[in-house]
């Protein structure tokens, strides 16, 4: 069996926790020691070998994927990270993986989003494997047995029993509350966005029901493919049209963390229904979610049904029943070219990360963390100089071809226009405070001459 993980989503409804440059699947939420993507990857390892896993993502997330897999202790085949030139929804993403798998021959393939939280993983794995009984004839989707009339999910109506599952009668869009109550009574299932199929059967259904996608993928140039293929979901492109669709019920606790109101189902509440993580003070308050910084004291008095998400550079406050509108905040930020729509203060790179500590006119201060054995590109900046102070570890610094070691408590200065590189030759994290000075301090003032990650 092959496994495909879809890891290209941006998770805008969880802003400001999730942002385009570091979306929800890569977050380690409070009380979690692994990211949601890492949990998804480990689940796939229970279904397929390391060499049988494929991950579809975009160029911005490629090294996040590699880094988080490496953090789990695995060396992943980079060619199995499939980079989409542009997002075209789920059908092209899945078919891209199918075409890559078929280079080694047809096989049963399971497809999973990277941002799902699942409890009782052993039961989940057993149920997913039951799909192999039907995969020779059907495209299988997995439907979650609802525990409430949720309006944030699509629904699936089961029909004739079929081994471990059912033929699908029809798919339903996200309903209003009254319609969701009816679906619940009639035994409909939540549409989870998880699938299993044989690659040859899936290809036949793409050719029959989404010929534009099928024809686009005849090209050998992935950029040309994504220029030609329409943007279409697997539900619209295949599942709602095909007569070869089955659903297998999953009776587990599941969430796609699609909005902040789903947190109420995932995290423990106090006796008043509040969810807190850092010892926040609540007086005469109930049914609130507080997700705040651990180095800030937060108090709430006489408040109910609020969601409060406090980050160092952004604060969200909304009513619990309005959390689906968070995406509108992101849309407004993007319309105003506000970088907080896409970027956290901490930005992750294949070599480590940097955090903006302070910035003003003509200066910016960062904390740079370089992973053991990693190095930044050999580069120069036209408009800024950089002063590096090592606070942890030992840095190997190259300036205009001359190497030197800078140890904890020592510093060095790089003039604008000088080629330079920062490297961690040690076995512990390297932490450096960088002070940038210049008239232009944006990230696009960079010329790379050599890079371990192919970014020149």
Q: Is residue 37 part of a domain?
A: yes
* Rounded mean pLDDT, 287-306: 92
pLDDT value at 264 more than 90: no
Mean pLDDT (the chain) is: 94
- Answer yes or no: do 161 and 190 share one domain: yes
pLDDT value at 1 more than 80: yes
- Answer yes or no: do 252 and 276 share one domain: no
- Answer yes or no: do 212 and 272 share one domain: no
Looking at residue 405, which CATH number applies to its domain?
2.60.120.10
pLDDT value at 248 more than 90: yes
Q: Which residue has the higher pLDDT, 211 or 264?
A: 211
Neighbours of 76 (CB within 10 A): 18
pLDDT at 45: 97
- Answer yes or no: do 73 and 155 share one domain: yes
* Rounded mean pLDDT, 436-453: 94
Contact 53, 45 (CB under 8 A): yes
Residue 246's beta-bridge partner residues?
140, 167
Q: Is residue 227 part of a domain?
A: yes
| Helix, strand, or coil (residue 427) | coil
- Answer yes or no: do 243 and 181 share one domain: yes
Q: Is residue 338 part of a domain?
A: no
Express each pLDDT in 107-136 by its tens digit. 999 999 999 999 889 999 999 999 999 999
Q: Which tokens in the block code for residue 331?
A: 């849309």
Percent of the chain at pLDDT > 70 equals 100
pLDDT value at 30 more than 90: no
Q: How confident is the model at residue 3 (pLDDT cuts 50, 70, 90)?
A: very high
- Answer yes or no: do 290 and 156 share one domain: no
* Rounded mean pLDDT, 415-435: 96
pLDDT at 293: 79
Q: Residue 149: which residues within 8 A CB-CB, separation 6 or more? A: 177, 180, 181, 183, 184
* Rounded mean pLDDT, 260-271: 88
pLDDT at 265: 82
- Answer yes or no: do 135 and 51 share one domain: yes
- Answer yes or no: do 66 and 127 share one domain: yes
Express each pLDDT in 229-239 by its tens digit. 999 999 999 99
Looking at residue 143, which CATH number applies to its domain?
3.90.550.10
pLDDT at 266: 84
- Answer yes or no: do 227 and 139 share one domain: yes
Dist. CA 24–CA 93, nearest whole Å: 19
Instruction: For residue 384, give the nearest of 412, 413, 355 by alpha carbon.
Output: 413
pLDDT at 256: 87
- Answer yes or no: do 71 and 171 share one domain: yes
pLDDT value at 294 more than 80: no
Q: How confident is the model at residue 383 (pLDDT cuts 50, 70, 90)?
A: very high
Dist. CA 425–CA 175, nearest whole Å: 56
Task: Give the chain's domain count.
Answer: 3
pLDDT value at 257 more than 90: no
Which residues constitute the domain of residue 246?
A: 2-258
Residue carrying the six token digits 């494997």: 129
| Helix, strand, or coil (residue 146) | coil
* Rounded mean pLDDT, 377-402: 97
């Amino acid at each position: 069996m092959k496994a495909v993980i879809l890891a290209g989503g941006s998770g805008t409804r969880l802003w400001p926790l999730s942002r385009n440059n570091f979306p929800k699947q890569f977050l380690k939420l409070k009380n979690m020691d692994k990211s949601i993507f890492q949990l998804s990857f480990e689940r796939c390892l229970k279904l397929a070998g390391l060499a049988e896993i494929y991950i579809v993502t975009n160029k911005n997330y490629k090294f996040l994927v590699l880094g988080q897999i490496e953090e789990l202790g695995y060396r992943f085949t980079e060619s199995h990270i499939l980079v989409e030139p542009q997002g075209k929804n789920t059908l092209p993403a899945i078919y891209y993986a199918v075409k890559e798998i078929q280079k080694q021959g047809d096989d049963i393939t399971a497809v999973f989003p990277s941002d799902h939280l699942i409890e009782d993983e052993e039961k989940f794995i057993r149920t997913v494997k039951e799909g192999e009984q039907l995969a020779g004839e059907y495209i299988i989707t997995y439907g979650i047995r609802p525990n409430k009339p949720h309006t944030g999910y699509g629904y699936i109506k089961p029909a004739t029993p079929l081994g471990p599952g059912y033929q699908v009668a029809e798919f339903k869009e996200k309903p209003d509350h009254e319609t969701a109550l009816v679906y619940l009574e009639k035994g409909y299932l939540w549409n989870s966005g998880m699938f299993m199929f044989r690659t040859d059967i899936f290809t036949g259904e793409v050719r029959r029901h989404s010929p534009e996608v099928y024809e686009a993928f005849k090209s050998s140039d992935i950029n040309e493919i994504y220029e030609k293929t329409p943007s279409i979901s697997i539900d619209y492109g295949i599942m709602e049209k095909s007569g070869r669709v089955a659903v297998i019920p999953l009776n587990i606790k599941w969430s796609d963390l699609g909005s902040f109101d789903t947190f109420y189902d995932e995290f423990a509440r106090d006796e008043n229904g509040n969810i807190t993580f850092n010892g926040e003070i609540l007086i005469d308050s109930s049914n609130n979610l507080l997700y705040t910084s651990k180095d800030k004291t937060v108090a709430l008095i006489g408040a109910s049904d609020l969601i409060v998400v406090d980050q160092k550079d952004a604060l969200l406050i909304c009513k619990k029943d309005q959390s689906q509108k968070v995406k509108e905040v992101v849309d407004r930020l993007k319309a105003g070219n506000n970088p907080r729509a896409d970027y956290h203060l901490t930005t992750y790179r294949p070599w480590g990360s940097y955090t903006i500590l302070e910035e003003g006119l003509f200066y910016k201060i960062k904390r740079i963390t370089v992973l053991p054995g990693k190095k930044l590109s050999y580069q120069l900046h036209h408009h800024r100089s950089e002063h590096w102070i090592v606070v942890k570890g030992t840095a190997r610094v190259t300036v205009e071809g001359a190497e030197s070691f800078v140890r904890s408590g020592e510093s060095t200065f790089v003039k604008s226009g000088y080629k330079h590189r920062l490297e961690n030759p040690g076995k512990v994290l390297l932490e450096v405070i960088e002070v940038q000075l210049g008239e232009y301090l944006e990230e696009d003032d960079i010329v790379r001459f050599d890079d371990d990650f192919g970014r020149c």
